[in-house]
Amino acid sequence: MPALADKMPAINISEEELKRWGKLWLSDENPENEKKKDKAPFSFDRQQSVRFASFIDLAVGQALATALGGIPVVKPNSKSLLPEKIDCIEVGAVRVIGGVRPQNYDVAYRPDGPRIVFDSKTLNEEKSVGKNWQNMINDLATEATTIHTRFPYAIVAFIVVVPKPALGAKQEFDIIRTLERLGSRKDVLDQAHLAEAISLIIWNPETGEIDKNIPNLNSPLRIETFSDTLFPHYLDRYKGLPPHSEEDSDEEEE
């Protein structure tokens, strides 16, 4: 089996990709059907909202695959409760039956059940941020709960992505404070609704740049520290166990 790394690479979020999506966000036309003027400026249409964060999901999946020994990244069967390969990272709609409800996650590692699950969450317009950010918090807590009540050793992680023009100062303060509290699970005995790692990305649709000042430099929500927050939990809970143990590798060679 591939050797487990001591660190997980930082998540590489493409600013060029963010800029490309920013052009769609700023536009008042639906580029897939220019005659149908059903998209307001400073927003995504419904299909764009669904697809937007897929490149972030892939970046998280690739970083996890590297940390877990260079294992393959595969697209899951959304109806399957088992991965396609024994040891792989799945990026796509990964269905997990948790303690509360069945739930699809964007990235998962589940060699013997879910060890790591990840979801990206987006709020993509000013109205949506104001109206729906608390509902998003409820979703995050429920997704963490449904995993941890059945798989307490599993690691739950999220990245929340918001365009800066859609974020008000009061909402910024409340969202950051709430996410910092929600992303504080350190031990398998901690409350089930908490997540092991959460990051917040505030991005500029005109330039594709990620805001370097939000959250502040000391916040655990910084995307630069996402991997360093997440992966030590994995090492604490699974290092030396199959499929990472040296004994298993020796047995395979024999």
Contact 201, 226 (CB under 8 A): no
216 lies in some domain? yes
The pTM for the full model equals: 0.92
Collapsing DSSP to helix, strand or coil, 162 comes out as: strand
How does residue 24 score in pLDDT terms, banded at 50, 70 and 90? very high
pLDDT of residue 31: 56
Q: How many domains does the chain contain in total?
A: 1
- Any domain includes 44: yes
Span 48-57, average pLDDT: 96
Give me the amino acid identity at 222: R
Does residue 223 form part of some domain? yes
**Residue 14: predicted pLDDT:** 95
In a domain, 9, yes or no: no
For the stretch 180-207, pLDDT in tens is 999 999 999 999 999 999 999 999 999 9
Note the pLDDT of residue 79: 84
- E-state strands within 123-205: 155-163, 197-203
- State the Cα–Cα distance between residues 111 and 107, nearest whole angstrom: 13
Q: Is residue 10 part of a domain?
A: no
Within a domain: 91 = yes
Q: Is residue 254 part of a domain?
A: no
The pLDDT of residue 202 is: 98
Structural domain for 213, as ranges: 15-249
Write out pLDDT tens, residues 204-216.
999 999 999 999 9
Residue 8: inside a domain:
no
CA 43 to chain centre: 21
Whole-angstrom Cα distance, residue 111 to residue 103?
Answer: 18
